Amino acid sequence: MDAILFYVCAAVAVGSALVVIGQRNPMYSAFALIVTLCSMSVIFALLGSPFIAVLQVIVYAGAIMVLFLFVLMLLSVRSEEDAPRSGGRTLRGIALALVTLLVLQTGAVLLRRSAAPLPEFDASTRRMAEVLFSPHFLYVFEATSILILAALVGAVVLAKKEL
Amino acid sequence: MDHPSFVSHAVLLSLVLFGLGTLGVFLRRNVITVLMCVELMLNGVNLAFVAFSRQAGSLDGQVLVFFVMVVAAAEAAVGLAIVIALHRHRDTLDLDAFNLMKG
């Protein structure tokens, strides 16, 4: 049952990712990306990470994608024109994507494929909080709050009428 | 989901998503679509983190995913603010139109 759900969600994620990069209309791309993010959230849950799965829906599919849709509607974006990009650049893009994929793939293959059963794993919200607020990660966590503040101020300054 | 093969298939899925995101960054001309493809790449990385964290039985990977999400939120906010500023100055979102600094 879990396996079927995993492969269905993986197929949906890849399919809607293809729609994201294949669509000329950014609005459809955004909606396809929301589908990708939600099916990835199911995969996170299947991999035993309920906290990350919920975070994925709330932060990614909720907050970030709403921000994207908000800007898309604010700017009344049109579809891309039919004129294709210069052929050289498209070819270079495909080549670079393939090379990236190949390099990452070799790395993944080089990793030892252990058939050993997976270890016991408890990623409940309680355990996550214990790790996140342990002295090991506490200062990093505080640093992210400064990052968020900087991003907030930066976004307001950048989007203001007069710079 | 206790079979080891699921973890390697999840890593494979993350590779495919990262590759698709890279492809999209180079194929699309709209700034906002390119930003969305970057989000797709970040999600591929997140999936790899979660899969390896499951394999290692350690929570550190999950904490990294948390931080990646925070940085992605900050990046989206600043990136979209830049897009709005660009649109105000050039009245377009076509990446090919932003060639002020071309070498």
Q: Is A72 left (phi over 0), alpha (psi -120 to 50) or beta?
A: alpha
Q: Are B35 and B79 in contact (CB under 8 A)?
A: yes
Q: Does the distance separating the beta carbons of A75 and B87 come in below 8 Å?
A: yes
pLDDT over 70 (residue B11):
yes
Q: Does the distance separating the beta carbons of A68 and B80 come in below 8 Å?
A: yes
Q: Is A76 left (phi over 0), alpha (psi -120 to 50) or beta?
A: left
Position A142 scores a pLDDT of 92
The label of the residue with tokens 């090991």 reads: A136
- Which residues of chain A make contact with B62, given a CB cutoff of 8 A? 49, 51-52, 123, 128, 131
pLDDT over 90 (residue B79):
yes
Burial class (CB in 10 A: 0-12, 13-18, 19+), A5: middle
**Tens digit of pLDDT for each residue in B36-57?**
999 999 999 999 999 988 888 8
Rounded to two decimals, the pTM is 0.88
Instruction: Find the radius of gyration of the CA atoms of chain B.
Output: 17
Residue A120 CA, distance from chain mean position:
27
State the ipTM, two decimals: 0.91
* Confidence bin at A97 (pLDDT 50/70/90): confident
Q: Kindly state the tokens that stand for A52.
A: 């990350």
- B 15-34 residues inside an 8 A Cβ radius of A: 15-30, 32-33
The label of the residue with tokens 């058939």 reads: A115
Q: Does A90 touch chain B (CB under 8 A)?
A: yes
pLDDT over 70 (residue B14):
yes
- Going from N- to C-terminal start, the domains of chain B cover 4-97
Q: Does A55 touch chain B (CB under 8 A)?
A: yes
The CATH class for the domain spanning B4-97 reads: mainly alpha
